[in-house]
Amino acid sequence: MKKRILVCMVFVILLGGCWDNKDINHRALPIAMGISYQQGNYEVFLDIPTVSDKNEGIQVISAKGDTISAAVNKISMNMESQVDLLHLKVLIVDKAFATLGLSEITASTIRSRHISPKTMFVICDEPLDQFFKGINNMKNGDGKEIYDFFQKNSGWNPEIAHTPVWKVFRSIHSYTNDVVLPIIKSGESTAIQSMGSGILRNGKMVSRLSNEQTLLYNVFDGNSLDGKIEVMGKATVQIVSSRIHNESKFVNNQPVLNSTLHLKVIIMDVIGVPSIEVIKTELQTLLRRILDQIFKKMERANADIFGIGQHYREDLPRTELAEWRTKYLPQAKINLEVKTTIRNTGNLKLK
């Protein structure tokens, strides 16, 4: 009798496991979701790996609706699998949508909990139908390039901004902290091409940074490991580590920030036989020039992507913090000093 009961229990467990596996196999797990918005109508694109014996290929499915949920429901209704967005890795919006504003979609994403807050937020520099058609061309790879492109242990590069959904949500509700989003498009010789990054203020794209400026933004933000910089045609250096020390104060009601950027680099190659001191001097001059360009863009756009206002939160009441972007940021004075340590030169012979 006991053996019969035990056999029945094992059978039930195995049967339950089969149903669980069947449930998993009948779920569509998109890698990326694209969203465009035109004249009150949303169009959603889902990049879904196809399930086959070889487990290769990507299927792009799209639908339109009055809301994002309505468009996703249409896709799910017409598929044999249930759409599960919890494992989504990349959320892409077109440039027009980013310029119009991402506050509503970001709040909806956080509130619904159907999409992970860690999902990457990305701006596309071309129509989404053209983008998905381009990246899923079989000659470009297996269709998973959009996922690998933003993974730090795979294809991510320090010239690419790295901003998850939760950071965008935080910036929208912050007086003193804005963000940048990577801008991409389908490439010609590669599946994806980086087009720099977009500066977001209160969830709206108000300006852009080049790839070179994005690298320096990442350096300033402490997220620049292995970034390579061309130094005035004299050398190529690779950043090994970076840290920044800030001292903030008010002088005659003007915010003043004294920043010291410490870099450790290695020299990859050189042109001619420049001295180490020349390379260090040229590198510091180059970094200051590019960072000054970024600061000027911030001031014109009233967007605090470096979170400079965070250093003055204890000095200003909440009512004044609400005016940080428009009243204080344009007149902020930033004194930047760059200190470079060349850790080694490999086999290069330098003066």
User: Quick one: 266 and 184 in the same domain?
Assistant: no
pLDDT tens readout for residues 47-84: 887 755 555 667 888 899 998 888 888 888 887 777 77
User: What is the pLDDT at residue 11?
Assistant: 38
Q: What type of residue is 303?
A: A
User: Quick one: 205 and 220 in the same domain?
Assistant: no
Alpha carbon distance 208, 201 (integer Å) = 12
Cα-flanking dihedrals φ and ψ of residue 61, to 5°?
A: -125, 140
User: Quick one: 191 and 59 in the same domain?
Assistant: yes
Which of 189, 209, 229 is a domain's end point? 209
In a domain, 265, yes or no: yes
For residue 171, give the nearest of 34, 304, 295 by alpha carbon: 304
In a domain, 218, yes or no: yes
User: What is the pLDDT at residue 6?
Assistant: 46
Q: What type of residue is 93?
A: V
Give the strand pairing for 204-209 and 120-124.
unpaired
Domain enclosing residue 299, as ranges: 212-351
pLDDT tens readout for residues 7-23: 444 333 443 444 344 44
Which of 209, 238, 270 is a domain's end point? 209
In a domain, 289, yes or no: yes
Maximum distance among all Cα pairs of the chain, rounded to whole angstroms:
90
User: What is the pLDDT at residue 22?
Assistant: 42
Q: Which residues contact 138 (CB under 8 A, 6 or more apart)?
A: none
The count of C-alpha atoms lying within 13 angstroms of the C-alpha of 144, restricted to the half-sphere facing its C-beta, is 12
- Are 236 and 229 in contact by the 8 Å Cβ rule? The answer is yes
Give the strand pairing for 179-186 and 120-124.
parallel
User: What is the pLDDT at residue 203?
Assistant: 93
For residue 94, give the nearest of 44, 157, 136 by alpha carbon: 44
User: How far is CA 38 from each of CA 97, 101, 105, rounded to the nearest angstrom?
Assistant: 8, 13, 14
User: Quick one: 217 and 190 in the same domain?
Assistant: no
User: Quick one: 307 and 332 in the same domain?
Assistant: yes
Could you say which residues of the chain have pLDDT below 50? 2-3, 5-24
Alpha carbon distance 39, 66 (integer Å) = 10
Cα-flanking dihedrals φ and ψ of residue 92, to 5°?
A: -115, 135
The count of C-alpha atoms lying within 13 angstroms of the C-alpha of 162, restricted to the half-sphere facing its C-beta, is 21
User: What is the pLDDT at residue 99?
Assistant: 94
pLDDT tens readout for residues 275-299: 888 888 888 888 889 888 998 999 8
In a domain, 191, yes or no: yes
Compute the CA torsion angle 305, 307, 312, 314 (nearest 10 deg): 140
For residue 109, give the nearest of 131, 81, 86, 129 by alpha carbon: 86
Alpha carbon distance 77, 64 (integer Å) = 13
Which of 145, 180, 209 is a domain's end point? 209
